[in-house]
Amino acid sequence: MDAFKPNNYLEELDPIEIVDLIEKSSLEDRIVIFNHLPAELSSTVFEFLIFSLQKEFLDALPSEQGAKLLNDLSPDDRTAFLEELPSQVLKELLKLLSHKERERTLKLLGYPENSVGRLMTPDYIAIKADWTVTEVLEYVRKYGHYSETISVLYVIDNQGVLIDDIDLKDFLFASPTDKVSTLTGDKFIALNVNDDQENAILIFQRYSREVLPVVDNQDILLGIVTADDVLNLMQDENTEDMQKVGGLEALDAPYMDTPFLELMQKRAGWLIILFIGEMLTATVLGFYQQEIEKAVVLTLFLPLIISSGGNSGSQASSLIIRALALGEVTLKDWWRIMHREIFSGLFLGLILGIIGYFRITLWSVFTDMYGPYSHLVAISVGLSLIGVVLWGTLSGSMLPLVMKALKFDPATSSAPFVATLVDVTGIIIYFTIAYIILQGTLL
């Protein structure tokens, strides 16, 4: 119990410091600390905790206390928490919510996963066009406490259709008797509730907004999304992409908080798939066994050639994956990308091919390790490098587009996947070129 100090010590900390303290404590201490927090502080701290700890507390605390925590969470944070749970647990927890909160939660959970609907909060302030500025400010004073943000107010008509969003500051600058309708324009930006969350990121970024309204297909205002929620979402999406590009399934929790077996599960799956794919290299090399026996010197450059294909492929795929994620390119650009990458592949392949050629030619001046036909070997390696780098670049850039077209995540395991593909085909390219050039001499 060395982490725990009396109540008044806790009150001096800010919520994040308490979160740090809790994360570093043992399970037992955590509960004690949490129980000692003043009521309103405990809600804030709960909101900042990572999912696994939130779940731990809800399991450990008496159900009235758990119910209070859940009911106090802001609707968007509650949705984020609940959507991580298995459906059985979810059902139990929904029972803890008040009737009103349960209804709101079920509504939010009703939107598809990864949709803007799951991200929004219904806590916004809606006003009518025929109100005066004074009436609006009165209304904000009365109801603003319950709203996630009041820096922007939303003008709706009697059917709930969004007419405009107006900065609170515009009301401060306006004359008290002005009608809201004198402040509305005819342009506003809104997210659609069924939009993909990634799309929301792009819109937020593009328009530099701090909060955006969410509407349905009939333009009826349903909620708002704030920039800080998008910030979190963006970090999560980027983490997922980075992990997928690295050739593993995205983790659900931070690296250190992921249990060992779960970590292995996320890593072993793709590693085995790639391993089985890579077994094809052994099969393909088996076909060339006779050639290898005749010209062992060829094997010396095998890793060099296939890794160059893998490296150029991983460059191309990470460029295209990122450009897709940022909306800089779309599927329609495939031909422009392919055109660009064919020239890139040729250019880069030529550079490596020339270096490779001179490396072998130069070495053979000092050593006869590469045999009497070292010059022909050098040409074979040089040409193979051009072919393999071109092929690596091309498949690295096209694979993410193919994945996207097939509705998969372009990031999924792409770099190692391209490397495996290029390894297998690179061997074929290498031995085919070598066979043509060395026929009658070494082969």
User: What are the phi and psi torsion angles at 373 (to 5°)?
Assistant: -105, 30
Nearer to a second copy, 160 or 246 (CB): 246
By CB under 8 A, residue 438 contacts a second copy:
no
Rounded to 5°, the CA angle 115-197-78 comes to 65
- Residue among 131, 140, 90, 132 at smallest CA distance from 110: 90
**Restricting to residues 88-117, which ones interact with a second copy according to CB under 8 A?**
none
What sign does the CA torsion over 132, 138, 143, 147 have? Answer: positive
Nearer to a second copy, 24 or 91 (CB): 24
What is the distance of C-alpha 333 from the center of its chain?
A: 22
Minimum CB separation from a second copy for residue 243, in Å? 6
By CB under 8 A, residue 384 contacts a second copy:
no
DSSP state at residue 112: P
By CB under 8 A, residue 37 contacts a second copy:
no
By CB under 8 A, residue 321 contacts a second copy:
yes
By CB under 8 A, residue 26 contacts a second copy:
no
- Residue among 409, 228, 395 at smallest CA distance from 325: 409
Nearer to a second copy, 67 or 319 (CB): 319
By CB under 8 A, residue 55 contacts a second copy:
no
Q: Which residue in 5, 128, 322, 375 binds a second copy (CB under 8 A)?
A: 322
Residue 371, Ramachandran bin (φ over 0: left; ψ between -120 and 50: alpha; else beta) = left
Q: How far apart are CA 217 and CA 189, in angstroms?
A: 14
Q: Which residue in 31, 41, 161, 168 binds a second copy (CB under 8 A)?
A: 168
By CB under 8 A, residue 216 contacts a second copy:
no
Nearer to a second copy, 160 or 371 (CB): 371
**Restricting to residues 253-292, which ones interact with a second copy according to CB under 8 A?**
254-256, 260, 263-264, 267-268, 270-272, 274-276, 278-279, 281-282, 285-286, 289, 292
By CB under 8 A, residue 307 contacts a second copy:
yes
Q: Which residue in 54, 311, 412, 425 binds a second copy (CB under 8 A)?
A: 311
By CB under 8 A, residue 143 contacts a second copy:
no
Nearer to a second copy, 61 or 137 (CB): 137
Query: What is the pattern of x (binds a second copy, CB under 8 A) and - over residues 120-139?
Result: -----------------x--
Minimum CB separation from a second copy for residue 59, in Å? 24
Minimum CB separation from a second copy for residue 44, in Å? 10
> Encoding tokens for residue 181?
């309708």
- Residue among 404, 395, 396, 399 at smallest CA distance from 331: 404
3-class secondary structure per residue, 310-374: HHHHHHHHHHHHHHHHCCCCCHHHHHHHHHHHHHHHHHHHHHHHHHHHHHHHHHHHHCCCCCCCH
Helix (H, G, I), strand (E, B) or coil at 36: helix
What is the distance of C-alpha 256 from the center of its chain?
A: 19
Minimum CB separation from a second copy for residue 36, in Å? 19
Minimum CB separation from a second copy for residue 387, in Å? 15
Helix (H, G, I), strand (E, B) or coil at 163: strand
By CB under 8 A, residue 303 contacts a second copy:
yes
